[in-house]
Amino acid sequence: MGNAFIQLSDVMLRYGGGTIALDHTTLDIEKGDFVALVGPSGCGKSTILKLVAGLLRPSAGAVIAGGREVGAAGTLAPAGAHASAAPRLRIGLAFQNPTMLPWLTIRENVMIPLKIVEPFRQHYRSKKRGEYAERADALLAQVGLKGFGDKRPWQLSGGMLQRASLCRALVHEPELLLLDEPFGALDQFTREELWDIMQTLWIAKRPTVLLVTHDLRESAYLANRICVMSARPGRILETRDVGFARPRTLESSYAPEFAALVQQLRMRIAQARRESDAVPVPMPVPPGNVLEEVAA
Ligand SMILES: Nc1ncnc2c1ncn2[C@@H]1O[C@H](COP(=O)(O)OP(=O)(O)OP(=O)(O)O)[C@@H](O)[C@H]1O
């Protein structure tokens, strides 16, 4: 095994009902990289995020995050309980529909990871609380939400909530950021604005990012590498390096080479879908000697 920051080694994942979501899935991600996962619907992209987050344990193979085995096939202990002495990774999560606690202000929602993740947690109730509030406010300002810290979630639009959820994902300075369609529910303009914000935040702090998206332009705008998955059971079919200079801009996303990459990805995914449609369905065994009769 190599020394990648995140590693999936020949992983198979079978859900309780018997669905095999992933098979022979191997993926290496270096520290500080920005990797996008794209592929046909239902191919297992979110399942990979859940494995890396330690929410699922592989049915076969191994998943390593930050030098620590987050789940090994065949173990009965909770994910991570058998793991190495390496400290737990600080992970930030953002999903398509951000869930905010309605009785808390936006600032308090953003501060939630500081309340529960060590080493921040032990200082939360002490003098650091004011410092943490300032940290949350600074992040909110960075994403265009200056002055909204005292509002309640229901007073913000969907795009504003998604910005706040990015702040919540980043407030504890995670080493690893797991993003599952974080901009999927937003209109195109807001989405593109958030790409820019996301890129700025990544350039400033360089967390390792694993982004699941259906939006191929988004993957080409944000990622350093794009992994294309096969249809379910998903595995990585191909990895594309995205060499466009940073910071990328909306204008640069209309350049011919950008459009060409997006088109190639689209074609590769369409091919993966066709290949899965073409998987031969086993023919029922004909009764008796029907074949001989036909041959005769
Ligand atoms: N908890 C579960 N129990 C059983 N099957 C599941 C479960 N979660 C996901 N699956 C199945 O596993 C497969 C992969 O799901 P997953 O959500 O990882 O795919 P995805 O690529 O993220 O999908 P999409 O692109 O549509 O969001 C799908 O066939 C899905 O129905």
Nearest ligand 1 atom to alpha carbon 48:
18
Ligand 1 center–CA 107 separation, angstroms: 33
Atom of ligand 1 nearest to the CA of 37: 21
Q: Atom 14 (ligand 1): residue with closest C-alpha?
A: 44
Ligand 1 near 17 CB (within 6 A): yes
Work out whether the CA dihedral 114, 117, 118, 122 comes out positive or negative: positive
Q: Which amino acid is at 138?
A: A
* Ligand 1 and 230: CB distance under 6 A: no
Q: How far apart are CA 132 and CA 40, in angstroms?
A: 41
Q: Is the peptide bond before 233 cis (omega within 30 degrees of 0)?
A: yes
pLDDT score, position 265: 98
* DSSP helix/strand/coil, 143: coil
Helix (H) or strand (E) holding 176: strand 176-180
Rounded distance between C-alpha atoms, residue 262 and residue 248, angstroms: 15
Helix (H) or strand (E) holding 149: none
pLDDT of residue 81: 40
Q: Which amino acid is at 160?
A: M
Closest CA to 240 of 267, 213, 220: 220
Q: How many CA atoms lie within 13 A of 27 on its CB side?
A: 33
Ligand 1 atom closest to 22 (CA): 14
CA of 95 to the centre of ligand 1 (A): 15
pLDDT tens sequence across 208-263 = 999 999 999 999 999 999 999 999 999 999 999 999 999 999 999 999 999 999 99
21 touches 15 (CB < 8 A): yes
pTM (two decimals): 0.88
Q: What is the pLDDT along the chain (296 residues), one digit of tens a residue?
A: 567 999 999 999 999 999 999 999 999 999 999 999 999 999 999 999 999 999 999 999 999 999 888 865 644 334 444 445 556 789 999 988 889 999 999 999 999 999 888 888 877 777 677 889 999 999 999 889 999 999 999 999 999 999 999 999 999 999 999 999 998 888 898 889 889 999 999 999 899 999 999 999 999 999 999 999 999 999 999 999 999 999 999 999 999 999 999 999 999 999 999 888 765 545 444 444 433 333 33
Nearest CA to ligand 1 atom 25: 41
The half-sphere exposure of 125 on its side-chain side, counting CA atoms within 13 A, is: 2
Beta carbon of 239 within 6 Å of any ligand 1 atom: no
Q: Which of 45, 56, 180, 235 gets mutated to test ligand 1 (max ligand atoms within 8 A of its CB)?
A: 45
Residue of 25, 212, 232 with the most ligand 1 atoms within 8 Å of its CB, for mutation: 232
Task: Walk across the sheet containing 91-94 and list its strands.
Answer: 91-94, 176-180, 208-212, 34-38, 225-229, 236-241
Q: What ipTM does the predicted assembly reach?
A: 0.98
